[in-house]
Amino acid sequence: MLTSITEGILCCLTGKAASLVLPLESTQPSDGFEFVEVKPGRVLRVRHIVPERQPVVTEDSSVHCKRKITVYRNGQLVIENLGDVLHSEILQCQDGDLEPCSTVEVELADYKEMPSSPDPNPVPPPVPPTLGEQKPAPPPRRRRRKPKRTVLIDSKRVISSCKGTHSDVALFFVHGVGGSLDIWGSQLDFFSRLGYEVIAPDLAGHGASTAPQIAAAYTFYALAEDLRAIFKRYARKRNILIGHSYGVSFCTFLAHEYPDLVHKVVMINGGGPTALEPSLCSIFQLPSCVLHCLSPCLAWSFLKAGFARQGAKEKQLLKQGNAFNVSPFVLRAMMSGQYWPEGDEVYHAELTVPILLVHGMCDKFVPMDEDQRMAEILLFAFLKVIEEGSHMVMMECPDTVNTLLHEFFLWEPDMSKKDSSKTDTEKTVALSDTLHTLKINRSMDK
């Protein structure tokens, strides 16, 4: 603690950061560590593992994605799903049948649910008059509201099972603020052993990537362009993006930019579908030298909030994952650079890629209702809650997360027609014990 305070004072006097994250020589070059220069002088460390495998012919399922998204001036968002729906083995109605086309009606930037109605401006039915009473005058007609913006989506998406034996499949893992590719250690080892090609970069200023001493190098758009370069370098025909926390926003960005290349997306504790904007009253707005003095307290707070338990095992995981081990300047610039006004509810509602949402029940950074909100907005979304996990759930519960992700990779929709000759009992389909899902394309009447 005294050393941190001394270095913080020197940082204030000299105007320079006391510690910087610089590229390091890989201690395990045989494990697929590479250094990629995405821009002149901007080098990212990437772990890239390509296993030996034989190409396998796959059968694809085509899904008709048709949506009408209407935004009104009062902040109301109405989403009408008009295309195909998934089979009840994943999205299950109460009777096990296919779910009809439905409408989701919510308020923008508000996590309170509202009753759903196909008509965005319903009129209450008239009350019949009783005997001896005069019929009341009809209420004045209200002018139908004109939408502020209307988005139409009409496309075909091919969704298929992705196995480790498929040579056209690649998995991209993206960490969040203060993390590194090392937090994905269990996932990278697990899926590479199954034959998957895995790619995991260190964001600028994190892990062993270079750390430019300019705040503009850590804005959302600067980091997104870095990941765009990494994605274009390693992308295959079918790519699955796995993001954690802030890394979820970059996965959403890539899925929106490359809809034909991104096959599926996994969002781990990513939060709600709202536009990013830095907080003006955050502790991370303090000068870098002050943050350096507070670094032991910040590390302790991250351990307490990021893990469900704070024992010796969790401390060792935090150390092995090289998490929250960035310079105060990088940390401050990362938090101040989270400005992404395009990433609102409509932006997320336009995605047609299947998405798995993973939420740690004990997460103190991301509330549960934010991931629920995300599941309601997205077209094909399945929400899984891990009770014993927190914000760093992929490190706390690696076996559970790995199994859950693998089942999602292997999942493909069954678009076969329902058999009307079956009885109601035969139509009922039990949910998988491992993959508990949340039905999202539904009427929100409670």
Q: Are strands 76-81 and 103-107 parallel, antiparallel or unpaired?
A: antiparallel
| pLDDT value of position 244 | 97
Q: Where are the alpha helices (DSSP H) in 194-311?
A: 220-234, 247-257, 288-293, 295-306
Residue found by looking up tokens 């034909």 in the block: 260
Distance CA 279, CA 97 (A): 45
| pLDDT value of position 310 | 82
Q: Which of these, 249, 180, 171, lies nearest to 408 by C-alpha position?
A: 171
Stretches in the chain below the pLDDT threshold 50: 1-30, 88-100, 110-123, 418-446
pTM: 0.78
Which CATH number describes the domain made up of 157-410?
Answer: 3.40.50.1820
Which residue of the set 88, 363, 371, 406 is catalytic?
363
Q: How far is CA 85 from CA 66, 254, 443, in A?
A: 10, 24, 14
| pLDDT value of position 221 | 97
Distance CA 373, CA 316 (A): 34
| pLDDT value of position 137 | 64
Which residue of the set 88, 102, 209, 245 is catalytic?
245
| pLDDT value of position 143 | 55
| pLDDT value of position 439 | 37
Q: Which of these, 270, 271, 257, 265, lies nearest to 241 by C-alpha position?
A: 265
Catalytic site residue 64?
A: no
How many angstroms from the chain centroid is the CA of residue 111? 17
Distance CA 126, CA 137 (A): 10
Kindly state the tokens that stand for 6.
């001394």
Catalytic site residue 245?
A: yes
Cβ-in-10-Å burial (0-12, 13-18, 19+) of 420 comes to exposed
Q: Are strands 76-81 and 262-268 parallel, antiparallel or unpaired?
A: unpaired
**Tens-place pLDDT, residues 347-391:** 999 999 999 999 999 999 999 999 999 999 999 999 999 999 999
Which residue of the set 175, 359, 391, 406 is catalytic?
391
